[in-house]
Amino acid sequence: MRILLINNGSIYIDKLRNILKEYEVEEKKLSSSISFENFDCVILSGGSIDLTSSHPKEIEVIKKCKIPIFGICLGFQMICKLFGSKLERMEKRRKGFVEINVKDSLFGIKKMKVYKNHIVCVKGVPEEFEILGFSDDGIEIAKHKRKEIWGVQFHPEMGGDGIKVLKYFLSESLHSKN
């Protein structure tokens, strides 16, 4: 499996690279000229851009992507903003392991312990998305109903149960290719 890893400046990128070491990974920065050809899926890393007041033109390229996409934290926010979601700046940063509710038994558990580090949250997704996980902060896991577009507000690369979501996505992406 060939994965395009879009590095949005995540401080956890080394941990993400380590999780993906069994795959063929090419790492790039997001740009308006990026090509998704010759890849099986795209992972959008976290980072520190505040999308509540801006909409970088580079994220428009995500709309053109025809392969499975998985967004982590900022990557999730980018996906949600592109599809019309509302993002809100929180009163204080959420950092550390927390428990979130899982709406679907897709992952075999009703609650997940995940690592969060963000100050912006997703407050709503368009109707073409299904909410799979949530907390008091907002939406934690969402999936497009017809396309292979997934996103998580937390950092699965930091351990806990969140890694199950990323591994599920990778498994589904590999399965859909065959």
CB 23, CB 2: distance < 8 Å: yes
Catalytic annotation, pick one of 65, 121, 140, 157: 157
Rounded distance, CA 27 to CA 53, Å?
A: 27
Per the annotation, the verdict on 121 as an active-site residue is no
Looking at the chain, list the stretches that DSSP marks H as alpha helix, in order from N- to C-terminal side.
13-19, 74-82, 162-177
In the block, residue with structure tokens 């859909």: 176
Per the annotation, the verdict on 175 as an active-site residue is no
Catalytic annotation, pick one of 41, 65, 118, 155: 155
Rounded distance, CA 171 to CA 165, Å?
A: 10
Catalytic annotation, pick one of 41, 73, 80, 121: 73
Rounded to 5 degrees, what are φ and ψ at 108?
80, 5
Per the annotation, the verdict on 155 as an active-site residue is yes
Q: Mark 125-155 as b/e (b = at least 16 C-beta within 10 Å).
A: beeebebbbbbebbbbbbbbeeebbbbbbbb
Kindly list the catalytic residues. 73, 155, 157
